[in-house]
Chain A
């Protein structure tokens, strides 16, 4: 494995930029559109995923030597589902209004390819600290993607940020409609590809 010897900082950077869940790998896309019509929901979703990713990586890394490789997939599933249940119940208790909007998507973190993939590819083969850093990096990458998308959607769609009015005038209602989510993600993804091609000589993201 090539990334075993990377430093902690490189691990985090890898998760945030070069392997960004949403814009680079293009996996776990469902919530990137579903809950990003305002900044608050996007923020909460990002935080939950960050938490689950870090905790799953830690757990898997700690017990990696006790897991029989043959039944690792169900075990990872159980670990993920356990942590998701915890964040689900915590949110149901402390953030009722937001929970009403995004509970379904919080529960569906279980089915996230990105979290499962990191447990399988990274945490099950690495020591605690690198796994923790990898979790932080991946989670932060997702978190930042959610923030960027929901920032633009709320600003353009309602003219507000975090519920506070910022821009007066008629907002572009389409951005907070379902269709606008697809547009926002598509345009942002194209924009990041453009930066990559223009300034770093990359080839753009691979189509999933």
Chain B
């Protein structure tokens, strides 16, 4: 396996094509959980692990079941089924096996099912035809990129609480503008690696 290619995939998925800032996915969660650093970190941890596992699962199903049976047109339904089932079972297992961890991270698991990034990764893989390892690397990179975005945004929004914002812009609108400024900074990463 070509290590350089994998490294490039991780870097490009996390920085250059950051899901939040250049593909605009997962915005609901991005604006929802970044009000506090603590929740942002909890979400990041949960997210990266779900991302990697669901990328693996959906690759296996897509390559081994859907392509041989020629039912790739069902990919939307199948992927959302896989992710929902996996997240639901992770939720149940975690509740039984480790209740403390469940109290810390369980809330985020429920949110992840309706997240577009978890669904976008298998869909992009289906379009690009990654191998299993590449697909995992892509999932990992996307997860890390999202975690990075959450942490940056949370640290800014904690400061923003103290700032004097004009009334109509309080809350979400100013967060959007902040996100725009970060996105502008992320444009600087384009051209870092030419794939």
| Closest chain B residue to A114, Cβ basis | B28
Q: How far is the CB of A139 from chain B (nearest CB, A)?
A: 18
Q: How far is the CB of B122 from chain A (nearest CB, A)?
A: 10
Contact of B175 among A73, A186, A204 (CB under 8 A): A186
Determine if B86 is an interface residue (Cβ-Cβ < 8 Å).
no
**Which chain A residues border B176 with CB–CB below 8 Å?**
182-183, 185-186, 189
Determine if A88 is an interface residue (Cβ-Cβ < 8 Å).
yes
Contact B167 A204 (CB under 8 A): yes
> In residues 149-195 of chain B, which contact A (Cβ within 8 Å)?
166-177, 179-181, 183-184, 186-187
Q: How far is the CB of A37 from chain B (nearest CB, A)?
A: 11
Chain A 164-205 near chain B by CB (<8 Å), digits 1 or 0: 000000000010011111110111011101100100000011
| Closest chain A residue to B23, Cβ basis | A34
Chain B 75-87 near chain A by CB (<8 Å), digits 1 or 0: 0110011001000
> In residues 55-107 of chain B, which contact A (Cβ within 8 Å)?
73-74, 76-77, 80-81, 84
Determine if A113 is an interface residue (Cβ-Cβ < 8 Å).
yes
Distance, CA A104 to CA B116, complexed state (A): 10
> In residues 104-138 of chain B, which contact A (Cβ within 8 Å)?
114-116, 119-120, 123-124, 127
Distance, CA A185 to CA B115, complexed state (A): 20
Determine if A82 is an interface residue (Cβ-Cβ < 8 Å).
yes
In this complex, the interface size class of chain B, counting residues with CB under 8 Å from chain A, is 35 or more
Contact B25 A110 (CB under 8 A): no
Contact A186 B123 (CB under 8 A): no
How many A residues face the partner with a CB closer than 8 A? 47
Contact B76 A208 (CB under 8 A): no
**Which chain B residues border A81 with CB–CB below 8 Å?**
76-77, 80
Contact of B24 among A113, A178, A183 (CB under 8 A): A178
Chain B 2-39 near chain A by CB (<8 Å), digits 1 or 0: 00000000000000000001111111100110010000
Given A104-B123, A111-B114, answer yes or no on A178-B31 (Cβ-Cβ < 8 Å).
no
> In residues 9-38 of chain A, which contact B (Cβ within 8 Å)?
26-31, 33-34
Contact A189 B173 (CB under 8 A): yes
Contact A186 B177 (CB under 8 A): yes
Given A193-B168, A204-B168, answer yes or no on A111-B173 (Cβ-Cβ < 8 Å).
no
Contact B28 A186 (CB under 8 A): no
Contact B180 A182 (CB under 8 A): yes
| Closest chain A residue to B174, Cβ basis | A186
Given A77-B81, A186-B175, answer yes or no on A29-B168 (Cβ-Cβ < 8 Å).
no
Distance, CA A62 to CA B49, complexed state (A): 39
Q: How far is the CB of B65 from chain A (nearest CB, A)?
A: 17
Distance, CA A35 to CA B141, complexed state (A): 23
Contact A29 B28 (CB under 8 A): yes
**Which chain B residues border A189 with CB–CB below 8 Å?**
172-173, 176
Distance, CA A88 to CA B123, complexed state (A): 13
Nearest 8 interchain pairs by C-beta: A207-B171, A186-B176, A182-B180, A194-B168, A190-B173, A193-B168, A34-B24, A179-B183
Q: A74-B81, A108-B116, A111-B114 are in contact. List 14 more A-B contacts (CB 8 A).
A: A29-B28, A30-B24, A74-B84, A78-B81, A88-B76, A108-B120, A108-B123, A111-B119, A178-B21, A178-B187, A187-B173, A190-B166, A205-B172, A207-B170
- 27 pairs of residues in contact across A and B, judged by CB atoms under 8 Å: A30-B27, A33-B24, A34-B25, A85-B73, A89-B73, A107-B123, A110-B80, A111-B80, A116-B114, A179-B181, A181-B180, A182-B180, A182-B183, A186-B172, A186-B179, A186-B180, A189-B172, A189-B173, A193-B168, A197-B167, A204-B167, A204-B170, A204-B171, A205-B172, A206-B171, A207-B175, A208-B32
